[in-house]
Amino acid sequence: MRKEHYFYLALLILAFAATGFIFLRYSNKTETIVETDAPVPASAPQASWMGGSLNVEEIIKSSDIIISGRAVGSTPEQRADLIFTKQEISIDTVYKGDVKNGESIIILQTGGRLGEKETPPFQEAPLLDIESNYLLFLQYTPERHYLVMGGFQGIAKIINNELVFNVSDDYIAKELSGMSFENAASVVQSKVEEQAGGSNG
């Protein structure tokens, strides 16, 4: 009888232990889901951009070229599982860099559609609009195309002679927004010349 008593007591302890284990696993799983439950964008993904500039002087110094120009064409291409778009820019004015007015350059942007496959562009860095004009701060790559500085910082659309940035509360946007395009371009050109003079000195 005593053996049976110990047997049932052992079963009871095991049952409590199993119940506690299942409860703890369920609680941890539920807590994890709550902690990581973030809204998923319906279309365009978001990114945490690295290597951004804190002011206009910094983005000018980091840029290989600074230009104003018009988007005249685009070509999507697939790299691994993502679609990228090569944007052709016809240069109007060069403020910095070894390019010339009237030349065309290629900018690579994340996002685009190729056949049935589509990669949404980042919310902060939508694809350029064809036939629109831009002020661009760009970095050269070994693949002989350019990337926008800071992911989104180095691109401003020119609308009604004013600069419009995709992220209005960014450092660069705060410094240049509200100016006419001519005034903003003059500020950029002046700072480019200051930096060139300082490096020569």
What's the mean pLDDT in 46-72? 85
Cβ proximity of 104 and 88 under 8 Å: yes
Bridge partners of 156, per DSSP, are 135, 165
Query: Looking at residue 99, what is its pLDDT?
Result: 97
Please give the mean pLDDT across all residues of the chain: 81
What's the mean pLDDT in 172-192? 94
Which DSSP category does 44 fall into?
S
Which one is predicted more confidently, 137 or 33? Answer: 137
What's the mean pLDDT in 79-93? 97
Least confident of 12-16, 78-82, 134-138, 193-197: 12-16
Query: Looking at residue 198, what is its pLDDT?
Result: 76
Q: How confident is the model at residue 200 (pLDDT cuts 50, 70, 90)?
A: low
Nearest to 170 by CA among 151, 188, 189, 184: 151
Nearest to 152 by CA among 136, 141, 140, 175: 136
Q: How confident is the model at residue 122 (pLDDT cuts 50, 70, 90)?
A: very high
Tokens of 118: 């589509």
pTM of the model: 0.75
Query: Looking at residue 177, what is its pLDDT?
Result: 87
Interval 10-56: pLDDT, tens: 433 444 444 343 333 333 433 322 333 333 334 455 444 456 888 99
Query: Looking at residue 94, what is its pLDDT?
Result: 98
Q: How confident is the model at residue 180 (pLDDT cuts 50, 70, 90)?
A: very high
Say how far apart CA 183 and CA 161 lie, in whole Å.
10
What's the mean pLDDT in 133-150? 96
Amino acid occupying residue 148: V
Query: Looking at residue 52, what is its pLDDT?
Result: 83
Residue 93 has pLDDT above 80, yes or no: yes
